[in-house]
Amino acid sequence: MSQPTKFDPPTDEVLILVPSEAALVQDLGPFRTGQQMETDLLRGSALACAAEDGRPVIGENGRVQFAFEGNAGNAVNLRRYHERCQTAAGRLASRAPSIAYGSAEPEELTPVARFDPVRFVFLEVLDAETLEEWSEEKVPSFLPPADLTTPNTDPKVVGPLCDLPMRSLAQGKKGIFAWVLMDGTVLTKDGAGKGPLTAWRRGDPGLSAILEKAGLEPSKRILYAG
């Protein structure tokens, strides 16, 4: 087990990274192999590093430190790339003891997405082609369209969003169901069936009020509604 003693600065910004083929180690092997990467990585692993102004933070040794998750144990809740990204970002933010930390030369890493380490959602996909090739998953399989207009109640637009991975925010105890998708998009539905399924994005007028009606505490309303 290892734990970074210093990981500056705090992880207010997180980047998801993909290693180059030159740095790739295909099997777990020993913890340190002597290859360019300090830590062995499985293909499809999620790598998360601290960022400043949209760029990876480079340490005093000239390398980028990162946390990662490769699902070497084949856990059922880590089989999707977005799930591994959530775990890697959480590990980076918490500095939890683990062997799943590493470092690499900046040129061996490609930033493919910006990630929110508080809401655990993707903020922006920077390089969809590289992300998809590495993860062997298509971005539309876990993220809504970037050009989605909100608030939106069109069944042809909102309906397909129900097939995407999501987390529950409110389970209808106050009459409103709410879910958050992997880009922060919020879906709401009146439990009595009086209103349409609605897609919202942070900052949309009316979202905070509907989340308050759903029973979310103020801190969560600010987090998801802005």
What is the H or E stretch that residue 87 is in? helix 81-94
Cα(102)–Cα(4) distance, rounded to whole angstroms? 9
Q: What does the pLDDT average to over 80-108?
A: 89
Cα(87)–Cα(164) distance, rounded to whole angstroms? 18
Last residue within a domain, chosen from 73, 107, 141? 141
Provide the percentage of residues in the chain whose pLDDT is more than 90. Answer: 65
Lowest mean pLDDT among 62-66, 212-216, 218-222: 62-66
Total number of domains constituting the chain: 2
Q: Based on the domain organization, do 122 and 18 belong to the same domain?
A: yes
Predicted pLDDT of residue 25: 42
Q: Is residue 36 part of a domain?
A: yes
Least Cα distance to 119 among 188, 206, 186, 215 occurs for 186
Q: What does the pLDDT average to over 180-206?
A: 93
Of 47 and 98, which is predicted with more confidence?
47
Predicted pLDDT of residue 123: 97
- Both tokens of residue 88? 């890697």
Q: Based on the domain organization, do 191 and 128 belong to the same domain?
A: no
Q: What does the pLDDT average to over 176-183?
A: 97
Q: For residue 101, what are the domain limits?
A: 14-141
Cα(112)–Cα(108) distance, rounded to whole angstroms? 13
Q: Based on the domain organization, do 220 and 117 belong to the same domain?
A: no
Predicted pLDDT of residue 125: 98
pLDDT band, residue 31 (cuts 50/70/90):
very low
Q: Based on the domain organization, do 183 and 136 belong to the same domain?
A: no
Last residue within a domain, chosen from 116, 141, 166? 141
Q: Based on the domain organization, do 22 and 91 belong to the same domain?
A: yes
* pLDDT per residue as tens digits for the range 78-88: 999 999 999 99
Q: Based on the domain organization, do 47 and 129 belong to the same domain?
A: yes
Q: Is residue 117 part of a domain?
A: yes
Coil, strand or helix at 210: helix
Predicted pLDDT of residue 4: 54
Lowest mean pLDDT among 42-46, 123-127, 192-196: 192-196
Q: Based on the domain organization, do 53 and 115 belong to the same domain?
A: yes
Q: What does the pLDDT average to over 19-28?
A: 59
